[in-house]
Each structure stands twice: as structure tokens, then as C-alpha cells.
Amino acid sequence: MARLNDESLSGSSPPTKVESLDRLLVSLFSTTTALRGFLRDLPDGADLESSVPEGTSRANLAHAATLVLLSRGTVDTEFFSRLTRKFPGRRSRIAETARVFGLEAPTAEPVAGSSDSGDPVGSLLVDNWLLQDVANFFQGRLDPQPAPYLEIDPATDSHSYRRGWAISSQVESVLSFVTELVLRDHLSVEQEFADAWLGNDDGLDSLVHTALVRPVRVSTDWARFKQRRGHIVNQLCVTQSLRAVQAQIEQDFAARRPASEPMHSQVVYGTAGNLARSALLGVPHLPHPLRKYLLMQTSFSGRDAVALVQGWIQRERAALFERVMPAGLLRSAHATVAPIAVLALRESRDTSDLLRVALQLRDYHAPLREWLAYYQRALQIEDPAALMECNEMLASLECFIHRSPNIKEYGQLCYDFCAQRYSEEPEAAQRLDTATSLGTLVFAPKGEAVLRQFLQKCDLTPDLEDAAVEGFRIREQQTGRPTGSMGT
């Protein structure tokens, strides 16, 4: 079972072929029976299966299978294509390993009725505006200009724009993107608007090349899309003032004039369009921070396991810091940063190093990503038994966190729980890896100090550094909700 340590994040050497294939097999096959069945279906499968040991753990079997497959020259393009056909929703993960072997990313026949974004269970639709911010950040193009945040006042049935800073939304875009890159099987973007960032940064382009980020054509049914977008616009325009501006903008569009209020068009109309695409794809949506700020003031939500678990992690972190922080410090305002982003920032030498560290974290948290996909599938099909199991696991881990002074003791409690709760050893090991990942995130540093140390490497002025951090505080204080993806 993988364990996070400083060496695993700071080492610069790429994984070997043995390590890459070993990890891939462990992440794909949840039982020894499933892995043996796959080996049996390969050419000379009976001989391959007889060459690996009986009665061993899933991890040991995966390692033994890796050595046998490599020694016999079985790992070729067809091998990875077989894996892709068996696990079409894991194409990006399989492609990563294929490239370690110098092979082209394999393709799988599309499943009838599916979209070109792949398996929706592990996907997320990312705002192209957000990715434009990310590309600019990685290229050192930091935005020092003010940025308007739309605020709704239900008491006066009106809205206004609060002055914030673009650097704050830019940093939030980067940290949100890193977090979702670790927790999702792959990220989708609307192909039509990808030119805003595609080709501007080698790091992001490499993620497209390995299919971790996938530009897709969401829908060619314009009438259906327009109807869905119009319905969402009506839900977003919750005040009389917003409805009046929206009516004027629609008149502008009908007359082919520039929008009279371009920021309203970009925030409200753009948000509605992305949510409509999200609904048509059947996946959650990660909006740009200015759009997310609007959504967090509305009732929009969805069935997103990753967002639910991130909310659980944030609540547990808040309770943990309430127990351990000195009273004076607890009362002062401190930004709380998503823990995966904290770990990525802490281990990165500079902005150019951030994606490399994120991909290492992605590898470490593969068991958690698998469990989140299991949880998401249970939410989508409303499977009561699977939902109960997931909820019971989180409730048990919550008790362990409250009883543990440190992550070491928490880990022992998790080990005892998984050994007793799950009768089959592979399942117990997989759930223990998931519990360990969740504990690593809950016990991560609070984040503001790490964020400031990272921002100092970006050569920001003290004023802009303060503005970037202050944005996190303001959104926490005014919305009272954890940040994250939005439902469909």
C-alpha cells in the first residue's frame, strides 16, 4: 500500500517500467480473481496464470504478474489496448503507463450512446476561462488588476459588484485545477473555446496529449442546449435587478449588438452555458472563481461524490484545528486551503514544478480516486447498500480522527477497522489505502503559511500576495460553504 513521504514527492526520477505497470495493475483490478482472469485471457494465458503464485495478496500478485509479463515481452500496444477495452473509463491512467514504455496512448471502441468525454463517473467539465487563468499563471503572466465579484442582496432584491483582485481568482483557479487533477479520472473541456489556453503552456498541453485533459464537443443539439441554458439563466437571475439586466442583454444578442453589460454576460450567461453543457454530459462542473462565487450564493448543487467528500474533509479539518490551535490564533482570520493543494504547494520548488508534483500526488491517491468513483456510481444509480457502506466508512473515520492526536495513531485505528470490517484481504487493503489517503488530507497543514511561502516564489508584491490570500478568507466568511465543483 502506497504511503506519502517527502522522498516520494521530491524525487525527480520518473517511475520505472516495473513500478508503472505494477501500480497500474493494482489500481485497475480490485480483486486477485479479476487480475487472474485478465491474465488468463491474454495470449498463452494459461501459462501466464500458472507462473504467478496462488493464495497471495492483490499487491503481491500484481507485482508477480508485472515481472512475468515483462520477462515474456507481453507488454505491447495490444496489451494496453486490451486494458483500455476492459476499463474504458481509465483510458488516461492506462495511457500514462503506455507512454512510460514508449508506446502511443491506446484507444478503445466507444460505448454506444456515450459522449466523447469518456466514462462520466470519473469526469469533470472544467471552465475554459479557469484554464486560461491556469495557463497564464504557469507562464508567469500574473494579473495585478481588480476583478468584480457579483454579490446578491436578497433583502433589497438587487445585486452589485464587490471589488476583488484578479490575482486571487487566478491563484484559486490553479489550486482548484490541481485538486481536481488528483481526484478525477480525467477532466473534460468544451473544445469550441479551448483555443483560449491550448497551445499556451507545455505542461497543460502534455495533459491533453496523455488524455488527462480532454477537449470534447459537448452537444450538436442547439435547440436542446439553448432550452437548458435558458432554464438555468432563469434560476440564476434571482433578483429583479439581475432579470432586468438579462433581458437587456438578450435584446442586445437578438440585435447582434455587443452586450451592454459584458461582465454580466460573462458571469451569468457564461455560467448558465457551462452548467447546460455539464447537464448534457452528465458530469459535474468546475467553474471559474468569479462564476463559482455567483453559484455559491444560489441553491445549485448536484450528486458529486468528490465535492461531498471534500466538504467532509473541510469539516473534519475545521474541527481538528479547533481542537489543536491556540485560542488566540483560532479567533484570527486564516485562509483554509484545500489539502491536496497544500501538499502540492509545499513540495513544489516553483510554479514550473507544480504539475509534476500534482501528478505524483495523483499516483499516491489512486486508491482514493477509485473509491470516489465507486461512491459516485452509487450516487448515480441510488444503490442503498453501496451508499450505506460509503457513509459508514466516513462516519467511522470521523470517530478515529476525533480520537487520534496524530496521523500515526489514526492509521492504526484504520488498520484495525479495515481488518475487521472487510473479510476479503484485497478489499481490506484497498479500503485501508483509501482511509490513509483521507487521513493524510485531514491532517495536512491548514494552508495559509504554505500558500504564502509559495506565492513568495512568484515574485508578487506584498500587496498582491495579501490580495491573493484575502480572497480565500472573504469567500469562506461570506458564503460559509467549502469551495469545489458544482453539480449538474
Q: Cα–Cα distance between 301 and 298 in angstroms, integer? A: 9
Q: Cα–Cα distance between 247 and 203 in angstroms, integer? A: 41
Q: Cα–Cα distance between 88 and 108 in angstroms, integer? A: 6
Quick check: 481 pLDDT over 80?
Answer: no
Residue 192's Cα: distance from chain center in Å? 22
Per-residue model confidence (pLDDT) at position 476: 52
Is residue 131 a part of any domain in this protein? Answer: no
Residue-number span of the structural domain to which 387 is assigned: 305-466
Per-residue model confidence (pLDDT) at position 30: 63
CA terminus-to-terminus distance, the chain: 34
Helix 17-28 vs helix 366-381: angle between axes, to the nearest 10 degrees? 20
Last-in-domain residue among 45, 69, 100: 100
Quick check: 396 pLDDT over 80?
Answer: yes
Count of domains forming the chain = 2
Is residue 255 a part of any domain in this protein? Answer: no
User: Using one digit for the tens of pLDDT, what is the confidence trace for 124-134?
Assistant: 999 999 999 99
Q: Cα–Cα distance between 317 and 331 in angstroms, integer? A: 15
Arithmetic mean of pLDDT over the chain: 83
3-state percent helix, strand, coil for the chain, nearest multiple of 5 = 65, 5, 30
Instruction: Summarize the confidence of residues 383-398 as an average pLDDT.
Output: 90
Element (H, E) at 434: helix 425-442
Is residue 238 a part of any domain in this protein? Answer: no
pTM above 0.85, yes or no: no
Is residue 484 a part of any domain in this protein? Answer: no
Locus of grid cell 432579470: 243
Residue whose C-alpha is closest to residue 118's, from 86, 96, 91, 99: 91
User: Using one digit for the tens of pLDDT, what is the confidence trace for 93-121?
Assistant: 788 889 889 987 665 443 333 344 455 67
Last-in-domain residue among 57, 80, 100: 100
Is residue 170 a part of any domain in this protein? Answer: no
Lowest mean pLDDT among 27-31, 286-290, 295-299: 27-31
Is residue 84 a part of any domain in this protein? Answer: yes
Element (H, E) at 216: strand 213-216
Per-residue model confidence (pLDDT) at position 160: 94
Q: Are 269 and 249 in contact (CB under 8 A)?
A: yes
Instruction: Give me the percent of the chain exceeding a pLDDT of 90.
Output: 33
Quick check: 54 pLDDT over 60?
Answer: yes
Per-residue model confidence (pLDDT) at position 328: 55
Phi then psi for 114, rounded to 5 degrees?
-90, 160
Q: Are 292 and 483 in contact (CB under 8 A)?
A: yes
Which residues, other chains included, contact 368 with Cβ-Cβ below 8 Å and sequence gap of 6+?
Answer: 183, 433, 434, 437, 438
Is residue 288 a part of any domain in this protein? Answer: no
Per-residue model confidence (pLDDT) at position 116: 46
Last-in-domain residue among 77, 100, 123: 100
User: Using one digit for the tens of pLDDT, what is the confidence trace for 197-239?
Assistant: 988 788 898 898 888 898 888 766 788 888 999 999 999 999 9
Q: Cα–Cα distance between 9 and 358 in angstroms, integer? A: 9
Burial of 21-54, coded b for 16+ CB within 10 Å and e otherwise, reads bbbbbbbbbbebeebbebbeebeeeeebbebbee
Is residue 167 a part of any domain in this protein? Answer: no
